Amino acid sequence: MSRTMTMVSIGTGEGGDAKVAASDAARTEVEHHPPFQDPHHPLPSTMNPHGPSAPTIGFVDDNGRPHRASIATDRASSTSISLDNASIQPTKSSGDSSIPPKVKAATHTPPPGLTVIPEILTVEEEEALIREVDARPWSGKGAGLNPELRRRTQQYGYIFSYRLRQVTEDLGELPEIFKPLLERVAHLFPSDEPPDSVIVNEYEVGQGIMPHVDSLKFGPVVISVSLLSPCALHVCRVRKKGEEAESADDHTLALHRRSAVVLSGESRYGYTHGISKDEIDWVDEERLVRSRRISLTIRRIQGYGWTVE
């Protein structure tokens, strides 16, 4: 089997742009942050760098191919990743995009703690949000904050630096435009920890986000709202090194425009989530054709990695 060059994103990957080039022959050093241990939401041992054995993660490479990476957490300051390409299976078997590709078995039921809420926004609300965000300045692609990002983003509530992998600025109250949506999802957060951060991500056709677990600097609930385009979300259980893959570990879920995906509990901490760069996704027999997609990532920062004095 030929050895592919692969981009890996891990750990804080809320951007998925903090990539590390790796070949499967190499062990690659990536930045590691000690996890915040929330007593109410303890990390599973597979995510705990102090735990007994190393986890593996599943991720999709630039060609949309699924891979496994095993993570050795044998140093305090960094996490080593070695790629195990033995389990590579192409997601596409033919050039005809109207025919579902042969894919590695993935279930289409959500993992524990993950909920998809359809139509969380009306068509008019979606339109208004797009108009509003498009009238505001974008960062990324060489501009603004986080210029290193390949996709464009906007940040509200707090600035999270993808390079430093930490919150660098408190921007104050969230803009009015998000308020109706935030009120609608507030009950999904702990009552004393309402969401205080929104990141707007723009994906052009051909862009995705590497499989990652959101930074532990965010709280126990992560919500992503899809605007304009559907896509498939790949959710993979983080496995201990050597642990056998089980068919129930990999989940591929359809995210339709105006829907929200809620990651909490196990799916928040014990699973990676990512979006391939494919232009067409298949979820079961459903064909999802991508166009420009905007997502709103809604989270809580205060009290986790960042406390306002």
Q: Which does 199 bind (CB under 5 to 8 A by kind): Fe ion, ligand AKG, none?
A: ligand AKG
191 Cβ contact list (under 8 Å, min separation 6): none
Q: Which does 201 bind (CB under 5 to 8 A by kind): Fe ion, ligand AKG, none?
A: ligand AKG
Helix (H/G/I), strand (E/B), else coil: 241? coil
**C-alpha pair distances (Å), 93 with each of 97, 137, 263, 290:** 10, 40, 31, 19
- Binder among 214, 249, 250, 281 for Fe ion (CB under 5 A): 214
- Binder among 56, 70, 82, 224 for ligand AKG (CB under 6 A): 224
Alpha helices in 107-221 (DSSP H): 123-134, 179-185
For residues 14 and 281, which CB has a smaller minimum distance to Fe ion in the complex? 14
Q: How far is the CB of 119 from ligand AKG (least distance, A)?
A: 16
For residues 181 and 209, which CB has a smaller minimum distance to ligand AKG in the complex? 209
Quote the CA–CA distance of 182 and 174 in Å, as a whole number.
10
Residue pointed to by tokens 């692969």: 6
Considering only CA atoms, which of 279, 252, 290, 203 is closest in space to residue 66?
A: 252
Of 12-20, 163-171, 179-187, 236-244, the segment contacting Fe ion by CB under 5 A is: 12-20
42 Cβ contact list (under 8 Å, min separation 6): none
Q: Which does 295 bind (CB under 5 to 8 A by kind): ligand AKG, Fe ion, none?
A: ligand AKG
Q: How far is the CB of 137 from ligand AKG (least distance, A)?
A: 19
Of 192-200, 207-215, 239-247, 275-283, the segment contacting Fe ion by CB under 5 A is: 207-215
Quote the CA–CA distance of 228 and 259 in Å, as a whole number.
10
Of all helices (H) and strands (E), which one includes residue 56? strand 55-60
Helix (H/G/I), strand (E/B), else coil: 249? helix
Q: Does 201 bind ligand AKG (CB under 6 A)?
A: yes
Of 4-12, 13-21, 31-39, 77-85, the segment contacting Fe ion by CB under 5 A is: 13-21
- Tokens of residue 53, six digits: 């054995």
Q: Does 196 bind Fe ion (CB under 5 A)?
A: no
Q: Does 273 bind ligand AKG (CB under 6 A)?
A: yes
Q: Does 17 bind Fe ion (CB under 5 A)?
A: no
Binding site for Fe ion (CB under 5 A): 14, 214
